Amino acid sequence: MSFLRNLFKAAPTPTEDGAFHPSPLALKLATASKTDYDGGAYANPYRGGDKRVLMICTEERNMTMANGKKFSTGNHPVEMGLPMLHLLAAGFQIDIVTPTGAPAVIEDWAMPREDEAVMKLYRDYADAFANPGSLADFVANTMTDDALYVGVYLPGGHGAMLGLPENEDLGKLLRWAHKQDLFTLAICHGPAALLAAGDGPSFIYNGYKIAAFPDAVDKQTPMIGYMPGHMPWKFGEKLNALGVEIINSKADATCHIDRRLVSGASPKAANAFGRLAAEALLKNVR
């Protein structure tokens, strides 16, 4: 097996901190140097300048897989970046927080380095990612009925499964956003963070339909060396048990909106998800 993995360049690549990022084969199949970003033009963007979206990023990098090996992950730069570009182009401000205010971790190996719009975004927001706000501080001090927020954004990347699904502050934020009738935006593995809202029959997303990265596809990715082992747990399975239906079976461009929850399936959905989210927010503020 190791001979075939080396022959087809399907062996995960070791990192300096003892983890692994995707193999050359996996990077070739699952990432691209440019995105399908459509330019983010909006005929009538919001011009008030005061409506904001709170983006909650993971501050954790390494996911311990079922076999004990570590996968180097974080926030996926395309799934996070393209929706950011759309929201900004539509006239909304974006505030970035992590659970404790530690730097947001980005999957650098997935960065589309020949995409000028995405690369400029990450240059412009480099300081904000390095010095984000604290979710704990936001919940304690800013989460008020008159806050100028129109949405909460949970970007993708397997890092959304690290520290966020069990974060009590995130649970408070999601329940507050739901009560305030704000939009919640989640793409790919981002919906894993919805688990922070609690469990049982009172789960606020019980009965919702979403697009998300399928557990079945995560099960296949170790074969091409995308990850160094199988997932330690399945977020789709947990959401299903709480009454959430995932409408897509492939890691495709599926997007969906159910009430105030906007979702997307994978990096392939990032552009359409960003536009759907921006248009939903624009319709709401008008």
Catalytic residues: 188
What does the alpha-carbon distance between residue 58 and residue 190 come to, in Å, rounded to a whole number?
A: 10
What does the alpha-carbon distance between residue 261 and residue 135 come to, in Å, rounded to a whole number?
A: 20
Whole-number Cα distances in Å, 36 to 7, 137, 158: 31, 36, 21
Helix, strand, coil shares of the chain, percent, nearest 5, are 40, 15, 45
DSSP-assigned letters across all residues of 220-284: HGGGGTSSSS--SS-HHHHHHHTT-EE--SSSSS-EEEETTEEEE-SGGGHHHHHHHHHHHHHHH
Give every CB contact of residue 140 below 8 A, 6+ residues apart in sequence: none
Strands (E), the chain: 13-14, 20-21, 52-56, 62-64, 70-72, 93-98, 133-134, 149-154, 183-187, 209-210, 245-246, 255-258, 261-264
